[in-house]
Structures are given as structure tokens and as C-alpha cells.
Amino acid sequence: MKIQFTELGYQKEAIESIVQVFEGQEIRQSNFTITDNDRQGKLLSEYGIGNRLTVSLEKVLKNVQQIQVANGAPLSDQLSLPYPQFNIDMETGTGKTFVYLKSIIELNRRYGFSKFVIVVPSVAIREGVMKTYEMTKDIFRPLIHDKSYRVFQYDSSKLNEVKQFAQSDGIEVMIMNIQAFNSKVEGRKGAKNIIYRDDIEEMQGIRPMDLVAQTNPLVIIDEPQSVDNTKNAQEALQELNPLAAFRFSATHKNKSYPLLYRLGPVEAYEQEL
């Protein structure tokens, strides 16, 4: 038995609001390599593939303002620093995981973005994202044609998957618990996360985080009120070197970021959701 998905109108609106942020972007990826001049040394002399933003931040802001006008959201006069972050307000049970997984496919299809990191606050939510991926991957398959499409959970004991994330030319989506990379410095309260270590034999002196950061990923933050609610967590997210971040929640605590789309309890009730 397979569950059948019907993409609902409000989900299409949310996806389109996210994708339109980069209107004007050229389809382009960037190649990178860690050279002899970097302290980590060479990465097997092989190139990795990352996202590259070709549209200006001024254009991104104009796009955001147009989206906000269309959706009746408060108008923003600036983007966040050091990287743009956007709020998407979706009531619990309305399919936000489906929305951001479909948004990933559309961002690749329209602009060529291929590296994505989904940050979650708990194992339960991480498992839920993987379950939704398994249920939807065949639905998305016709949209990506012959491209590879991989969603995987970061595991510090399987760092070859991080290498594949960096080097693959397909759609790569890594799901990470914030706890896996919010401890950069070794101290009395715990050891430094493996992702920041440069003494792992299979990585040949390269910090796994450096590989992720070089890809300039688009970051999805699921339940940000539980993900980046500490200074360490906020700094850890910056270590990912995001191209931009999209924050999905029904209960945003930090409302300073531009709001792209809102489906709150009133809207959900009016649509009989």
C-alpha cells in the first residue's frame, strides 16, 4: 500500500514563496577544492560542487518584498546578516516537511542549487523527516529526471557520506541534529563534536565541517525556536556557511527575520485544515 499525496493550494503558495526569493538567479554551480595553501591540505585533488548565488542581495530583498506584498505579510526593509534568513509560519499538521522537501526539488529545478542541510532539534523530528522523504521520493522522481537525489542523516561514524555530500553533482540533502555540531570547543562540559576535528584518519586532516561549509548549502531549520535558541547553536549554524536559511515553525520566537508565508491557526481554520 502506498500513501497518495495531493499537493494542496496553500502548500503550493508556500513553496512558490520560497522559490521566488531567488528570482533572477542563473542556473550555476561552483567547483571548489582545498588547496595546498589551506591548512587542511589537499582534498584528494578532487573538486567538490557547491551552491553559488549569482543574483544580488538587493534583488533578493526586492523579491522578498514582492512576495510579502502578495501574501499580505509585513514588509521588510533589510536582510539579516551574516546570511539571509527567512521565516515560514505553518501550523502544525499542515505538511511543512512536505513543503520544504518539495521546495528543495524546485530550487534545484529552477536554479541548480544542489546542496541542502536540514537542521532539526531532536531525533524524533529527524526520523520524521526521513519517513516523509521515503514516502515522497517516488512522487518527486519525475521532477528531477535523471539526477541523483539523496537524503541522509549525518552520522559521525560515517564521514565518507560527508565527502559524498561535497563531491556529488546530484541533489544532496543532509539532515543534522543541532547537537551534532553545536560544540566547537572541547571543555569541561563535553568533548568537541567530531565534525570540527582535523585528526580523523579517513578525512586526511580535513575537518568534515570545512567540506560542508565549502558547499555553501541552503539550510532548512525545522522548529528554530528549539534549534538556535542558544549562542552556541547560532554560531554553529554560521559554521555551515549558509547561502541562506529558511526557518519553519508554527511558533516562531524570533520574528525579526523577513516573513515569507503565514498559515497560522486562523488561516488553517478558515481553510478547514
Three-state SS at 57: helix
Three-state SS at 58: helix
Q: Give the pLDDT confidence of 8-48 residue by residue, as tens digits.
A: 678 899 999 999 999 999 887 888 876 544 444 444 446 78
Pairing state of beta strands 259-263 and 85-90?
Answer: parallel
Rg (CA), the chain: 18
Q: Give the pLDDT confidence of 163-199 residue by residue, as tens digits.
A: 999 999 999 999 999 999 998 766 545 568 999 998 8
- Give the C-alpha separation, 251 to 89, whole Å: 8
Residues in the chain with pLDDT values less than 50: 1-3, 36-45, 188
